[in-house]
Each structure stands twice: as C-alpha cells, then as structure tokens.
Chain A
Amino acid sequence: MSYSPYFNPEYETMSRPELEALQLQRLRQTVRHCMNSPFYQQKFKQLGITPDDIKSLDDVSRLPFTSKEDLRENYPYGLACVPLKDCVRLHSSSGTTGNPTVVLHTQKDLDEWANAVARCLWMVGSRPEDVFQNSAGYGMFTAGLGFQYGAEKVGMLTVPAAAGNTLRQIKFIKDFGTTVLHAIPSYASRIYEVMKEEGVDPRRDTKLRVLCIGAEPHSEEQRRRIEEYLGVKAYNSYGISEMMGPGVAFECPEQNGIHIWEDYFIVEIIDPVTLQPVPEGELGELVITTINREAMPLLRYRTRDLTRFLPGDCPCGRTHRRLARLQGRSDDMIILKGVNIFPIQVEKILLKFKEVSTDYLITLETRDGNDTMTVDVELSQLFTDDYGRLQSLEKEITRQLKDEILVTPKVRLLSKGSLKVSDEKKAVRVKDLRKLF
C-alpha cells in the first residue's frame, strides 16, 4: 500500500504566508482565551495591554513571558482557562524543587496532542503495518501516554512496554516483531548492551528499523553509534512537558534539525539575559507560545532549552521551521571556577575515545577549599596489557576535556557496569557535592 509521506499534508506543507495567517488567527484566539485565567489577566494589566493590541505576529513580543516558576506558584489549577469539569487529563512534573508543575488537557487538547505525535511518527516512516514498542515511563511522565496515543492514531500495533526490565523489553522486541521503538538514548544503549550479553543480534534476531530517541541531550556521534549498533535509523524527538510532552518537534528523514509544528506553536529564540530575540540563526533560549490549546494555553513559555533556527527550506517539503539539535539546558549548565560548562561538551569528547563507553558521571566537589571536577568513565574494552597506556589514555582524555571546557578535570577509569545508568527517565550525569557558601 502506498501512503503519503505526510500525516497532515494540508498543514505540514502549507505555504509560509498561509501558515503565518493561521498562526495570527490562532494567536489572537488564544490571547482572548487567556483572559479566562486570573494569572494572565493580572499579567496583561501589569503590562498595560489588552488582547486587542495583538494585531500582527510581531506583536508576540508584547506578550508577557511565562516561566516554570509561574506554573509552580500557581499550582495546581491557577493557569486553567476552562472550568475543571471540561478537563479530562492532568500531567504533572516530578517537582524535585518545590511544587510540581501541572498541565491540564481537555479532550480536544488530547486529540491535538495525539495528532502531533502521530504526525512525528508518520514523518519518520511509521505506518499502520508497524509494531510500535514504547519503552518510556508511563504514569505522569508524558512520553508514556503521549507516544501511546500518537502511535495508536497512526494505526500501529502499540506495545506499552514502559521502562525497565531490559530482558523483558528484548523478549517483546523479538516476540512481537517490534519495528519502531521509542526509548531515551541512554536506555536504547542499555538495551543494546543487554542484547549483546544475551547473544541477541539486533540485525539478525529483530525487525527493528526505526528508533525514536528524546528527553536527553545526545550528540550526533552518539546517535550514529546507536544506529550502527541496533541497525536502525534513529530520530530525535523533542518534547516539553509544559507544552504537552512529546510531539512538539521531531526530526524528519533528512535527520538535519527538528521541525517544530508552527500550526501549534509560535516560536522565538531569545537571549536569556536581555530577553531580546537573538539574530536569526544564533544560539539562544527557546520560547514557545501555544496557539491551539484549550485547557491551559501558555504565552511565551521559557523552555530553558538552548537551540537555534536552521536556515533555509528542508528538502522533505515541510514548511515548518527547523531547530538545531539542542545544545543542553540553561538549567544543566555547571559553573565551575567561573567557567560555564555543559555536560554535552564532556560527552562530545568522550565519544571520540572508542576505549570508553558513552556513559559518564561528572562529580563536583570541594576539596581543601577548591572546587574540583571528576569525570568517571567506563572502560569498554581492555585494549592493552600496559599500565603506561592506560595512564596515557587518562591523560589524553583529560587534555581534550581541558581544551573543550577550559578547566582540568580528574578523569577516572572504571570497569564496565560501575556507573548505574537509570532504566527510567533521565540518566544522572552530574552530581554536585560542592559546599556552597
């Protein structure tokens, strides 16, 4: 059977002027709808604006920002724009610091969400003939139900395997003939490691062909490595739980940037300090306004994710703009001895050394009043019988890390399996044990 390459061709390939007209219409609707929440009423009052001031897309910059703190302070229902009786689903973040954040959905919101995820899955070649296995945590973690409904919308046979119990995951992949798998990248690596231990050859013993990876920053090299190991095409998924979860943006078959659905969102990239837009194509913080949400629209939500717009049209034919691979989160940034460091920089260097595996742990400690950084890495194979060469490996990793991050870390070689990478949610990459005075 031959299918269109697009799930929603009328929207995905809409001309820019049409798309922008649609955005403006939906933005104006959204802004008016926001007046149902006392939170936004207050914000508009403070800025001295009314919904009627929004006359063009450029007027987005007149709207107030919304932050994660706003969601926490107005926990749980302060940003609802419909009565609770019209809401059918609630998702909540873990709330490790203070109140969690709550996101509400009406039935229409859920349908739109499923459609967005289905659009993404279809884009990377998922079709009704496929078997989709979702190895993400269910429950409050949006990647569970988010992918579930999207995959069902595509018409795939969907296996809600959830995260963990790797042996069982592998059994499902083999027995059910899974062709499309969703997992966070560190867990996809873990599945491969266990397959290897169990003598399962992914190319010979499974039908896997597409892997969707998201939720954790990962480099191009790490993606290529997972693709090679599992014999699949791996596509980058970008979700934000405050937007809805997965389905916000996704890679197309070109594997060059993630398309963000501009009929759902208005996208800005700003300087996190000045809050002004960065020049086109430069790195900044992603700010998103939802334009088709009922229960809880968000205006200019500060994602804290750092990215940039990719220039030009995408050969895939979709007119929605592409964002570059995420460059880490402004929250993940480590400041050590006054230097800004992103964990992804460490990862980039480690990937150059085939003697070590892709897992790592950064520990920050205060020793004798000095802040120090230790990078633990696992030796994936013993390539030498010689202490000297192990030491020179340590030295070479240290030297390259120093060139990249400008401080000298202590590199420790560990045996395989020493670093416990979590089976669920996000892997812990940084432990900050510094004494802060």
Chain B
Amino acid sequence: MTINQLSVFIENKSGTLVKVLQLLKQANIQIIASSIADTAEYGIYRIICSEPAKAYDELKKAGVAVALSDVFAIELDNQPGRAAEAVECLSNAGISIAYMYTFLFNGKGILIFRTDNADKTREVITLNGLRFVTEKDLSLWS
C-alpha cells in the first residue's frame, strides 16, 4: 500500500547534497524520483530509489542524518485532470496532504504523497479505485 522513501537532512551549505548523491552512487543505488524543498537553514531531501533499505544503511553508516519512511504512491493515467480528481477524493474526505511530488514512470503519472491520516487515506484510495504502485512495480525500471 505504501512504499519506502528516504528522507535526508540537508544543511543549506554547498557540498552537502553532493555528498549524499556520491554516497548513493558508490552504493550503486538508482534514484527514481526525488524532491527537495528549500527553507532558510536546512531542507529535507526525499528520495524514491532502488534498494531503499540498503541506501538507508549506507547513508547511516556514513553518519548522514537519514530516515526511512512510508509514503503513498498511486498511479494515474497520463492525461490532463487525473491528479486533480485524485486529490479531490482526498480533499473531500477531509484529508490534508503534508507534501506531494510527481513523476512519469512507464508512461504513467506517479503521485507520491504523505497525509495527516494514513488509515483514512488508504480507505479513500481503495474506495475510489485508485491504483497503488508497489516497489516491485518501480523495480521494473532498474
């Protein structure tokens, strides 16, 4: 129902992002999608990748502040308006989205997001016939 996402604490200082990317490169980890937000002093770099558990261990071993978390991933047809419909379902159920990012994969639009209520989100996705993406689906690529 959910997939693993790496969250990395990134200080706003040149070189910090490169260090994380290099560690992932050395561990032969493939990044499928990622998102970074900027605030005044630090950011959280969120990554969907191949072998997230291994990536987590490698980063942690190198002393990087990293967390492994569960996020929702759903697949939408690559047509205008599909994201609006999906988010509307959540919104109508009173669910708030904490953050979201999207990418194209295998000709489909993938929506990655976290909400304030995981159980309810699961229910809404299932009831509205939205399709979950699994890590196995994404591994086709790598």
Contact = CB atoms under 8 A, between A and B. Distances in A.
Interface of A: 193, 197, 199, 379-387, 390, 412-418
Contacts of B37: 387
A385 B9 contact: no
Given A193-B63, A379-B65, A413-B9, 4 more contacts: A197-B61, A382-B9, A385-B67, A415-B64
Interface in B63-111: 63-67, 69, 98
B62 A197 contact: yes
B51 interface: no
Contacts of A417: 63
B66 A197 contact: no
A382 B67 contact: yes
Contacts of A197: 61-63
15 contacts: A197-B62, A197-B63, A199-B61, A381-B60, A382-B44, A382-B66, A383-B67, A384-B67, A385-B5, A385-B7, A387-B37, A390-B42, A412-B41, A414-B42, A415-B10
B44 A415 contact: no
Contacts of A416: 63-65
Most B CB contacts (10 A, CB to CB) among A197, A380, A412, A416 go to: A416
B9 A415 contact: yes
**Size category of the binding interface on chain B:** 20 to 34
Contact of B114 (A381, A385, A390, A418): A385
A394 to B, nearest CB: 9
Contacts of B10: 415
Contact of A418 (B7, B11, B46, B67): B11
Nearest to B9: A382
B8 interface: yes
Contacts of B14: none
B13 interface: yes
A386 B66 CA distance: 12
A65 B64 CA distance: 51
Contact of A382 (B8, B13, B62): B8
B11 A387 contact: no
A382 B42 CA distance: 12
Q: At the interface, is chain A mostly helix, strand, loop or mixed?
A: loop
A381 B65 contact: yes
Contacts of A386: 98
Contacts of B67: 381-385
Nearest to A383: B67
A350 B67 CA distance: 21
Q: Which 3 A-B pairs have the closest CB atoms?
A: A382-B65, A382-B67, A385-B7
B16 interface: yes
B59 to A, nearest CB: 10
Given A415-B16, A418-B11, A418-B13, A385 B69 contact: yes
Contacts of B128: none
B142 interface: no
Interface in B30-62: 37, 39, 41-42, 44, 46, 60-62
Contact of B39 (A379, A383, A387): A387
Contacts of A418: 11, 13
A387 B63 contact: no
A381 B63 CA distance: 8
Nearest to A388: B98
Nearest to A391: B39
A417 B9 CA distance: 13
A383 B8 CA distance: 10
A77 B13 CA distance: 50
A379 B9 contact: yes
A282 to B, nearest CB: 42
Contacts of A193: 63
B116 to A, nearest CB: 10
A380 B60 CA distance: 10
B44 A387 contact: yes
Nearest to A198: B61
A211 B66 CA distance: 31
B26 to A, nearest CB: 14
Nearest to A381: B65
A242 to B, nearest CB: 39
Nearest to A380: B65
B11 A414 contact: yes
Contacts of B8: 382
A413 B63 CA distance: 15
B61 A382 contact: no
B11 A382 contact: no
A400 B63 CA distance: 27
Nearest to B5: A385
A150 B2 CA distance: 61
A385 B112 CA distance: 14
Contacts of A390: 9, 42, 44
Contacts of A387: 37, 39, 44
